[in-house]
Amino acid sequence: MSYINKIGTATAPYKMNQADVALFMQNFYDEDENTKRKIGLMYDRSGIKTRYSAVPDYNLNTHTNKLLPQNLKDAFPTVNKRMDLFFKIAPQMSKEAILNCLENEEELQTITHLITVSCTGMAAPGLDLMLMEQLNIPNNVHRTSVNFMGCYAVFHALKMADAFCSANKNNKVLIVSVELCTLHFQSNFSMDNVAANLLFADGAAACVLTSNSNFENAIQLHSFYSQVLFSGKTDMAWHISKTGFLMTLSAFIPNLIESGIGNLLNEALKNAHLTINEINNWAIHPGGRKIIETIQKELSLTNTDVELSFEILKNYGNMSSATILFVLQQMQLNKRKGKVFACGFGPGLTLETFIGEFV
């Protein structure tokens, strides 16, 4: 077993009000008035009030675009320009999240493993080497990168970190997830693009895992369980194009989750030799308002059970892989006790879970 110690987070530089972004999108997509009205309703019902972006572009009043052309009908940035921006901004956000999860900076010298997570930026040398150099992490640290897995990617990072800690009690694993989803804004009108532009935001989160812990409210990891619903492989997807990464986000995703979440929970509990009555806390990835509502209904959860997932969605939007650590951080700050069931979803359609306990 291993322990998630203190979780640190960082937001992107520019705070966006969802209502302002809705006006921007209605203005940008030169569609008929009925379509603009639908876009406005979608934003109004998203459950999001504010979120953060690496660039200031998504505001009708801004004149200092970093990504989008001043004339929005001009050619949009290619993927290499978007990656250039990613590697100018992501390292700083990652550093902030990492420093926020440490007791002191000297702790960096005891890190044995570094796992970087992102589905919105890739290069080699990449984020791992940048952070090693900028934070003076030992140059013999064991490095692993989890890329392009989407919103559930941190679950894979936690699995690897748990295995490293189980293999050697002296291992100390640093995980950092950083996602700059707003860099992949697409100019052509489609409901997939409208949904992605409405939901996704930018953020970073980090944590350290050890085989033992004295940290108050550390999360002891007990078990992991995952399933893939191949029937949903075309409903959530993530592909690289010359103008950035293209997100497919079908309106059927909540229905797919509805059909699979009950069985997923039962199998995860069976795998952990637990019953649902032994779960005290529910860390649901805020993939969207409808997804949280669907899971709450299917699992008969109370409003209290899902309040933190709704709170993170409201204040930050969906930051892809980093988001589940924002939820767990709030549970730590609220000094939650007892067992926690965490779940996330992503392309595939992949359903990932872990069961742990606040100690």
pTM equals 0.95
Tokens 């490095």 -> residue: 143
Averaged pLDDT for residues 308-312: 98
Averaged pLDDT for residues 182-203: 89
What are 141's strand-pairing partners? Answer: none
Average pLDDT, the chain: 92
User: What residues make up the domain containing 250?
Assistant: 219-358
How much is the pLDDT for 243?
A: 80
254 and 136 inside one domain = no
Please report which confidence band the pLDDT of residue 246 belongs to, taking 50, 70 and 90 as the band edges: confident
Residue 315 has pLDDT above 70, yes or no: yes
How much is the pLDDT for 30?
A: 80
- Which among 167, 189, 210 is the end of a domain? 210
Contact between 306 and 282 under an 8 Å Cβ cutoff? The reply is: yes
- Which among 165, 181, 210 is the end of a domain? 210
What secondary structure letter does DSSP report for 190? -
235 and 163 inside one domain = no
Burial class (CB in 10 A: 0-12, 13-18, 19+), 36: middle
- Which among 210, 236, 257 is the end of a domain? 210
How much is the pLDDT for 252?
A: 59
Tokens 């969802």 -> residue: 18
240 and 194 inside one domain = no
6 and 120 inside one domain = yes
Give the strands of the sheet with 219-228, arranged side by side: 142-147, 113-118, 172-180, 202-210, 2-11, 219-228, 350-358, 338-346, 279-284
167 and 197 inside one domain = yes
How much is the pLDDT for 250?
A: 64
How much is the pLDDT for 251?
A: 65
| Per-residue pLDDT tens over the stretch 174-186 | 999 999 999 999 8
Distance CA 245, CA 79 (A): 8
191 and 265 inside one domain = no
294 and 151 inside one domain = no
| Per-residue pLDDT tens over the stretch 221-232 | 999 999 988 876
What are the CA-CA distances from residue 285 to residues 14, 66, 292 (Å)?
23, 30, 8
266 and 310 inside one domain = yes
166 and 244 inside one domain = no
How much is the pLDDT for 187?
A: 84
47 and 139 inside one domain = yes
What residue ranges in the chain does DSSP mark as E strands?
Answer: 2-11, 14-17, 50-53, 113-118, 142-147, 172-180, 202-210, 219-228, 236-241, 244-249, 279-284, 338-346, 350-358
The total domain count for the chain is 2
How much is the pLDDT for 40?
A: 93
pLDDT > 90: percent of the chain: 75
How much is the pLDDT for 69?
A: 86
How much is the pLDDT for 120?
A: 95
Q: HSE on the CB side for 328, CA within 13 Å?
A: 36
| Per-residue pLDDT tens over the stretch 14-51 | 999 999 999 999 988 888 999 999 999 999 999 999 99
Contact between 153 and 176 under an 8 Å Cβ cutoff? The reply is: no
| Per-residue pLDDT tens over the stretch 319-336 | 999 999 999 999 999 999
CATH number of 272's domain: 3.40.47.10
| Per-residue pLDDT tens over the stretch 118-132 | 999 999 899 999 999
71 and 141 inside one domain = yes
What secondary structure letter does DSSP report for 266? H
Non-local CB neighbours of 241 within 8 Å, separated by 6+ positions = 79
Residue 262 has pLDDT above 90, yes or no: no
| Per-residue pLDDT tens over the stretch 143-169 | 999 998 989 999 999 999 999 999 999
59 and 186 inside one domain = yes
